[in-house]
Amino acid sequence: MNPIEMDNLLLGLHDSDETERLYAVQDLAETENPDAALHLLERLVIEESRAIRDAIVFGLKTVSCSRAYDALFSLFCTPDAYLRNAAVAILGAQGDEAVGFLASNLDHSNREVRKLTLDSLFQIGSPDAVLAVRACLYDRAPNVQITAVEYLGRLKDEASLDEMLEIFRKNPEPMLRTSILESLSIIGAGAPIRRALNILAPHGDFSGMDPIYIPQAINLAAKAGNPDGLLAVIDSVKEISIYADDIMRALEQAKRSNRDLLQNDGLFKKVLDIAGDGLVREDVRYAAVNSILVRGYACSDNSPIYFLALRLASEESMVYAGVKLLACCCGAKGVKKTREIMEETTDEELRALCLKLVEA
């Protein structure tokens, strides 16, 4: 592009007409002029139209901004949230080309700037970017450490597990530790999970564990695939209704790799307790009933499942779960009771369900 054409584009970039500015932004982004990014960024800072701002950001994400790195980085300190987020996105779109620049600024005195730098590195997500994020595990600001932990989990950086577990062992900060456990649940398996559980509960005694870690401990124990270990964590919970949702979600996750998990009598009893607990949310109780049905357990007349089914069938909000258990798990007596419910109810949907179940 010759100088005259470039001058015309720059005039259009600052034209009072929004349409002219938009055309200029699009044309400038398509040029190979090495200063295009600087010109677009200069306009972005003073532009008031959201549509033009968005067009400039889109354009900057498609061109090399190496000459504008310092100017973009300076926007991390602006009070304008749009410009801060735009700078993160633009630098994040530069790929490995920007990793060295971003990594060299991870020692910035402002912790919020360091966090925004991490945001850009996370968006890049390359092996070199991951190494830079990993270095922030030792940042002096807890919020930056926590961000690094979360990003390494989302980037599934298994190589950082040992460092995170060592930080977990030494650093008592609760939010940092819960973030480490969350990342561990995403990328950890086997030995790392066992190490974390051993730190939480030396000698397998979870009774003294801080309640803040109970949801993560349940999740990790389920992921480890050891029914007895999971039962030990759940047994340490004094009020199971508070953590019923965590328990059922953990069991559902664990069943994907261990379909026989509920063959463990202790865990199966916990599921029965959750299904029958009126303090637990209805959707969680239904999930518990579904686990019983999936197991396909056939019971006798005096089985806990039969009495659970009767109780649920007497609750208006759980009657559908109750009749399913009666018809599917409680033999001839359960089918008989289902027919009685069908004959007595005025609820046509319930009647239709009962009929379907007894004829199956």
Structure tokens, 121? 């590195």
**Span 337-348, pLDDT tens digits:** 999 999 999 999
Ranking 85-89, 299-303, 332-336 by mean pLDDT, the lowest is 299-303
Count other C-beta atoms under 10 Å from residue 324's C-beta. Answer: 23
Backbone angles phi, psi at 130, to 5 degrees: -60, -40
Write out 118-176 in H/E/C secondary structure: HHHHHHHCCHHHHHHHHHHHHCCCHHHHHHHHHHHHHCCCHHHHHHHHHHHHHCCCHHH
pTM of the model: 0.82
**Span 103-136, pLDDT tens digits:** 999 999 999 999 999 999 999 999 999 999 999 9
How many degrees, rounded to 5, is the angle at CA 293 between CA 288 and CA 295? 95
Q: How far apart are CA 11 and CA 3, in angstroms?
A: 12
- Residue 260 banded pLDDT, cuts 50, 70, 90: low
pLDDT, the chain, mean: 91
User: Which amino acid does the sequence have at 31?
Assistant: T
**Span 238-248, pLDDT tens digits:** 888 999 999 99
The predicted model gives 266-272 an average pLDDT of: 90
